[in-house]
């Protein structure tokens, strides 16, 4: 196996394109190194992107935030501006693993691992985040919800990797939240996850919302019909009831040792209602 550590994005793209064998991109390594140890993947090369300065930074852009693919959860958690604008995204990222995992794990890695139960992905989807993908044909921007195609599969083409995640401008009277259900309070994987992001007008009416569910389908899903139940309302009881019902209807989970179909379906609605209330409060509603 070869270890490659480019210091520029251009070099990284070139190395990945020219590598003759299987080359895996290493950011935090909290999924990749576990898979390698388990023999689930045996790459010929590893491309460590952490020596590319731009990928280690959180930068302000067009009123929003661009988060490099090598930025860890711990770094996000210490970034005041990011935490103020997108607390739901930061909280979701910080639910991944332990303090030690937080020191390494990244949004981009969580996205590319393409687990339906990834904690940060529903929060990014609700936030309207966009992944910037670098590859031999240049860069392209793809909405986060379009990146995972199936468990463990993404839309990335040969030679491409996620270079950064862009979180758009939050704007006034906006709020987001992510909640998950796990049997334990820490060190667990979501049985169901739900993220809500919404914006209110000066009268407290919801003008825009995005709702996303995790672990209830082969990929994290955006649920526009759930967002529609909130738009035009003050998030009163009938609206929250409709939201919960719509989220439960949108859930098509599997049954496994962590939860039954019935349980996951029910909990999708419960979490949506609770996450919406938190997002509403954060929006000043």
Partner 1 sequence: MSKIHVTTKINGDPVEYLCEPDETLLDVLRDQLGLTGSKEGCGTGDCGACTVTLDGRLVCSCLVLGAEAEGAEVGTIEGMAEAEALHPLQQKFIEHAALQCGICTPGILVAAKSLLERNPDPTEEETRYWLAGNLCRCTGYDKIIRAVMDAAADMRKAS
Q: In angstroms, what is the minimal distance from the CB of 69 to partner 1?
A: 15
Q: How far apart are CA 22 and CA 106, in angstroms?
A: 22
Which residues within the stretch 40-59 sit at the binding site for partner 1 (CB under 8 A)? 46, 48, 50
Binding segment for partner 1 among 25-33, 143-151, 198-206, 210-218 (CB under 8 A)? 25-33
Neighbouring CB atoms inside 10 A of 232's CB total: 11
Residue 36 or 155 having the CB closest to partner 1? 36
**Residue in 7, 8, 59, 98 binding partner 1, rule: CB under 8 A:** 98
Q: Checking DSSP bridges between strand 174-181 and strand 2-4, what pairing results, if any?
A: unpaired
Is there binding between residue 26 and partner 1 (CB under 8 A)? yes
Is there binding between residue 80 and partner 1 (CB under 8 A)? no
In Å, how far are 106, 155, 174, 221 from 56, measured between CA atoms? 10, 23, 27, 28
Is there binding between residue 187 and partner 1 (CB under 8 A)? yes
Q: How far apart are CA 214 and CA 71, in angstroms?
A: 22
Residue 6 or 103 having the CB closest to partner 1? 103
Is there binding between residue 109 and partner 1 (CB under 8 A)? no
Q: In angstroms, what is the minimal distance from the CB of 110 to partner 1?
A: 14
Is there binding between residue 5 and partner 1 (CB under 8 A)? yes
Is there binding between residue 74 and partner 1 (CB under 8 A)? yes
Nearest to 179 by CA among 270, 240, 265, 102: 270
Is there binding between residue 38 and partner 1 (CB under 8 A)? yes
Alpha helices in the chain (DSSP H): 9-18, 32-37, 73-77, 80-85, 87-94, 99-102, 107-113, 120-127, 224-230, 237-250, 261-282
Chain contacts with partner 1 (rule: CB under 8 A): 1-3, 5, 26, 29-30, 33-34, 36-38, 46, 48, 50, 72, 74, 97-104, 186-187
């Amino acid at each position: 196996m070869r270890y490659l550590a480019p210091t520029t994005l251009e070099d990284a793209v070139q190395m990945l394109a020219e590598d003759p064998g299987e080359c895996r991109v290493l950011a935090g390594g909290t999924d990749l190194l576990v898979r390698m140890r388990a023999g689930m993947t045996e790459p010929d090369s590893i491309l460590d992107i952490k020596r590319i300065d731009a990928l280690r930074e959180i930068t302000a852009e067009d009123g929003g935030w661009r988060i490099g693919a090598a930025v860890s959860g711990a770094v996000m958690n210490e970034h005041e501006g990011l935490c103020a604008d997108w607390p739901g995204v930061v909280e979701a990222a910080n639910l991944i693993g332990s303090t030690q995992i937080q020191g390494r794990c990244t949004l981009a890695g969580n996205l590319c691992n393409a687990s339906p139960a990834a904690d940060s992905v529903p929060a990014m989807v609700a936030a309207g985040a966009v992944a910037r993908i670098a590859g031999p044909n240049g860069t392209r921007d793809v909405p986060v919800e379009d990146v995972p195609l199936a468990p463990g599969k993404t839309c990335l083409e040969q030679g491409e990797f996620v270079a950064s995640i862009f979180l758009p401008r939050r704007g006034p009277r906006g709020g987001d939240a992510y909640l998950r259900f796990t049997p334990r309070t820490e060190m667990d994987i979501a049985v169901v996850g739900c993220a809500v992001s919404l914006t209110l007008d000066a009268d407290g009416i919801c003008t825009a919302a995005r709702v996303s569910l995790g672990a209830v389908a082969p990929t994290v899903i955006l649920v526009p019909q759930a967002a529609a139940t909130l738009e035009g309302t003050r998030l009163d009881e009938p609206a929250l009831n409709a939201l919960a019902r719509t989220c439960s209807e949108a859930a098509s989970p599997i049954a496994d040792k962590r939860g039954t179909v019935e349980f996951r379906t029910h909990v999708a609605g419960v979490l949506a209602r609770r996450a919406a209330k938190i997002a509403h409060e954060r929006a000043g509603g």
